[in-house]
Structure 1
Amino acid sequence: MDTELLKTFLEVSRTRHFGRAAEALYLTQSAVSFRIRQLETQLGVSLFTRHRNNIRLTPAGESLLPYAENLMSTWQLAKKEVTRSLQHSLLSIGATASLWEAWLGQWLQLLYQQRPTLQLEARIALRHGLINQLHERQLDLLISTEAPKMEELTCQLLGNFSLSLFAASAEPETGERPYIRLEWGADFHTHESRLLVNNPLPVMSTTSALLARSLLPTTGACVFLPSHWAELYPDLTAIADIPPLVRPLYAVWLQNSDQRAQIRQLLKTPMI
């Protein structure tokens, strides 16, 4: 379907006059008539009744009108989006909530300070969901504590970070201190259970480091948080007899991604 034919049809139906439609479209009247005949030939129906200057839509023309309007509207939106994609390279980055809260938020601040016109999409989700988005090309870059072992993916080690066990007070008021489980990756739970005495059942599980920290005073619990948060939040107290856990941080993307060059450029700015 030639959209110019639909555009001409809509203009004639609006003006009810081939001459005025020709002026609006910057065409000759014969060109307008030819386009309408082309459209009628494609559809196998007459779209207008012509009696001197009295031009009206036929029942078939009336039926086509709303579809033509919708098709032209969709086509205009499509052209706008394509043009926008050529002008700006939108890159989507995905990570878990805790990684965004602990490191990636500050990383984005640095990126936008260096590149004020940068356009990014930040996605927060669980790791397995983000990997699926990566394979479906809905996501360009995954930041994760684990490197997926898949040939089609490129993984780059960005560095290591430290997690310390924090509480809101040095000693629990009564009995054993409760525990909040924060999502730091599937293999993290193996190290977690090795360090914690009696492997206590968590009073809460969450993917948000900020939420876990806010609940420490109320619950009297402890939780593994980024070690550098001791400087950001003076109310945090490190549990001295539990050593910090060191975790890797990876950038993951498709080997044949169209955004490879931009991803490598962004990764030159350190995250941790």
Structure 2
Amino acid sequence: MDTELLKTFLEVSRTRHFGRAAEALYLTQSAVSFRIRQLENQLGVNLFTRHRNNIRLTPAGERLLPYAETLMSTWQAARKDVAHTSRHNELSIGASASLWECMLSQWLTRLYQAHSGMQFEARIAQRQSLVKQLHERQLDLLITSEAPKMDEFNSQLLGHFTLALYSAVPARSKAELNYLRLEWGPDFQQHETALLPGDDIPVLTTSSAEIARKFLSELNGCTWLPTAWAKERSDLRSVSDSTTLSRPLYAIWLQNSDKQVQIKELLKTSILD
């Protein structure tokens, strides 16, 4: 039995809506429908009646519900117990490539110095993927500039960092440079659009600050970089007519995480020093 099928069945039975179940599971609606069909084919029965937006459990679905809840509970307990034996002192931290390059790698060095008995996993991925991993207990801690609005998460504001436009040549204006888009999250794009000409199409889009930095000179470009990080690099020059933007930095973890004590202890070591 594929536990993902049972998890999808439970989410549809909870929401009574394929679209909302898809959002909660970070899947497409067609993927949710396909999983339910797979489960129905395995059991040889229909689990839901579907009449437009009115989705109800069939008698067979009602019968399956307590078994599915018990099976998933047992599976989660087994995973937690088995993982606990090898991961008691291991903590996985997820963030975007640019945050790791500009801030978190230095923070990780300080964590190793302060917590010699810990083992860390530094995971790089897009924010949406990391939120899903956190929700599914595959990740312990997420560092992000945009806090997800989900009730089961705890969040802590760690501070703010400043972004400005930088290039590889001094005293240039935005109009003289090609734009390189370094991804800082969906809500940052609103500020980005307002501060750049509407026809300024990026010649490069990347989630890596180091890649963006490498191509500034080759592409006669400019990009948004953290000011504290950029000032330590002699090859970067601020764009003459650039403004600055303040961005928040959050730590996110599950409210019922069994790593809460370790997480709160780690967060005493500042990231933005």
- Into which bin does the TM-score normalised by the smaller protein fall? 0.5 to 0.7
The SS at the match of 2:243 is coil
Distance 2:140 2:129 in 1: 13
Match of residue 100 from structure 1? 100
**2:135–2:254 contact (8 Å) kept in structure 1:** yes
Output one character per residue of 1:213-242: Cα deviation in whole Å (capped at 9) or x when no partner: 011111110000110133311111101211
C-alpha spacing 1:191/1:199, structure 2 compared with 1 (3 Å): farther
Extract unaligned runs of 5+ from structure 2: 1-80
TM (normalized to structure 2)?
Answer: 0.66
Distance 2:230 2:172 in 1: 19
Between the two proteins, what is the percent identity of the paired residues? 52
Distance 1:267 1:114 in 2: 11
User: Is the aligned partner of 1:139 residue 2:128?
Assistant: no
Match of residue 204 from structure 1? 204
2:265 maps to a residue whose letter is Q
Extract unaligned runs of 5+ from structure 1: 1-78
Match of residue 233 from structure 2? 233
Distance 2:197 2:246 in 1: 19
Cα RMSD (Å): 2.0
Q: How does 1:86-235 map to 2 (within 5 A)?
A: 88-170=88-170, 176-235=176-235
C-alpha spacing 1:199/1:159, structure 2 compared with 1 (3 Å): farther
1:185 maps to a residue whose letter is G
Output one character per residue of 1:105-164: Cα deviation in whole Å (capped at 9) or x when no partner: 000000111122211111000000000001110001000100111111111100000011
- The structure that has the greater radius of gyration is 1
Output one character per residue of 1:17-58: Cα deviation in whole Å (capped at 9) or x when no partner: xxxxxxxxxxxxxxxxxxxxxxxxxxxxxxxxxxxxxxxxxx
Report the CA distance between 1:195 and its aligned residue.
1.1
Match of residue 84 from structure 1? 86
Distance 1:141 1:80 in 2: 20
Distance 1:251 1:160 in 2: 12
Report the CA distance between 1:83 and its aligned residue.
4.3
Distance 1:210 1:137 in 2: 30
1:231 maps to a residue whose letter is K
1:84 maps to a residue whose letter is S
**1:158–1:271 contact (8 Å) kept in structure 2:** yes
TM (normalized to structure 1)?
Answer: 0.67
